[in-house]
Amino acid sequence: MDSHISIEHLYQKEIANSEKLRSLVLIGLLAAEAVVLLVIYIFYQDHYLQLFRTHLALYAILIFTLIIIFYEVGIHYLVSKRYHWLILNEKVFGYFTSLSEVTLLTILLVFIVEFSEQTMILQAPATLTYFIFIVLSTLRLKFNLSVITGIVAAAEYIFVNVYYSTFYYQFNFDPGLNKPIGVQYLGQGLILIITGIAAGFVADLIRKKMNISWENIQQKNEVIDLFGQQISTKIAENVIKSHNELAGIKKQVCIMFLDIRDFTPFVEKSRPEEVVSYLNKLFGFMIEIVQKYDGVINQFLGDGFMATFGAPVSLVNSSQRATLASIEIVKKVNAETESGNIQKTRIGIGLHYDEAITGNIGSELRKQYSITGRVVIIASRIEQLNKKFNSQLLISDEVFTQIDQDLKNRFVSLGYSSVKGSEQGVLLYKLVEEFENEEIIVKY
């Protein structure tokens, strides 16, 4: 079992919750039924006695209601306190409770007929209680259980009717009543079976919907495992939709490398808690900005990080987004420095756009989403050239050609620079310092 809750465990937990809900619903419905019967009896005593000639039927129904209520209270307690027992005995428990409830109702009908010497109760609304048990069986989310509940209810109902119609009328035991037509209770039994089948289909549909929902949860958990807090909710949703892209493909991406200047001297003269606080302040707003433009921070490098725009989810004009994010980071660092929220800080950012190989690398025990290829190496080398040009943002020509004209106007060409890993050198553009703090209109 993995670190997240398995689908089976979620299902078992939902079944337990459904059992508790089912018990509460039955308690409420049967209590309401008892109250309604008492009200009807109070207002229609004469009509009641004309039908049943005795109070026995009412007393029996009320006693039965109390028995079922206590029975369901016991079930609710058992499920609440013996949850693990329920998981181990789920099938036995489900069939036992459903069939025992149906059989208790049948015993009630038999009891009333035997002691009142009348079969009227077999055609009375009390028999519709079978439908309550069948419908509520859907909460157990098992097709077979609902169908069997319907079949058992139909079989017991038909058997009781056939038995008493044959026995009573053969010996004229209840001559005052019209003999029920056989097709009538056969038809009612058929409806009980059909209701069980319909309830089974509903239960099966609910279970399938739940499984789909839990599979989505598992996929989201996989994304969380893979990316931690590197990605925004928006990207996480897109990763789930395009889950096959995690297997390993080639993608056009824009890579960002960011480095904090003069970090080593700061570490040497500062206390550990000061270093951590400083990094948290810087990385806090940097992460927000990267995610704002749908970038993913792949690695923290102590005094910097690597971010990707265009993987794992493809983006429209990833270079434009990466450039906007970089300018906003530079602007924010300058603003925080000027306001005194952080010590005087300069950064270096390098951007390069090219093809990369993306996908999960590792084993079943540990996997990491990785971006590899020449684009990563060149972006890292470009970032290092910020020291040479005393700049905070350098972009390659591959990035420059894809950004809009408003952004291009903020950069100046530095010509070709030799970069380790590139035989021909890289054509670079530098963000003009006067534009580092100027507002920009976001377009991508």
Checking 285-289 for CB contacts under 8 A at 24+ apart, the result is 285/329, 285/332, 285/336, 286/258, 286/329, 286/332, 289/325, 289/328, 289/329, 289/332
Residue located via tokens 């089974």: 200
Whole-model pTM over 0.85: no
Domain ranges of the chain: 7-223, 232-435
Query: What is the C-alpha separation between 231 and 261, in angstroms, rounded?
Result: 26
The pLDDT assigned to 128 comes to 82
Burial of 255 from C-beta contacts in 10 A (0-12 / 13-18 / 19+): buried
> At CA 269, angle to CA 268 and CA 274, rounded to 5?
100
Determine the distance from the C-alpha atom of residue 432 to the mean position of all C-alpha atoms in its chain, rounded to a whole number. 47
Amino acid identity at 168: Y
The pLDDT assigned to 105 comes to 85
Rg (CA), the chain: 37
Residues 6+ apart with CB under 8 A from 394: 348, 349, 350, 351, 382, 383, 385, 386, 414, 428, 429, 430, 431
Backbone angles phi, psi at 231, to 5 degrees: -120, 160
DSSP E strands: which ranges in 95-157?
none
> Topology of domain 232-435, per CATH?
Alpha-Beta Plaits (3.30.70)
pLDDT in tens, the chain (444 residues): 444 445 556 666 666 777 777 778 878 887 887 788 777 777 766 666 665 566 666 676 777 778 878 887 877 777 777 655 555 566 677 788 888 888 888 888 888 777 766 677 777 777 888 888 888 888 777 889 899 999 999 999 888 888 887 665 444 444 444 455 556 778 888 899 999 899 889 888 888 887 777 677 666 666 655 555 555 555 555 555 655 555 668 889 999 999 999 898 888 899 999 999 999 999 999 999 998 998 988 888 888 999 999 988 788 899 999 999 999 999 999 999 999 888 889 999 999 999 998 876 666 666 666 788 999 999 999 999 999 999 999 999 999 999 999 999 999 999 999 887 677 889 999 999 876 676 666 666
3-state class (DSSP) for residue 34 = helix
Query: What is the C-alpha separation between 58 and 40, in angstroms, rounded?
Result: 11
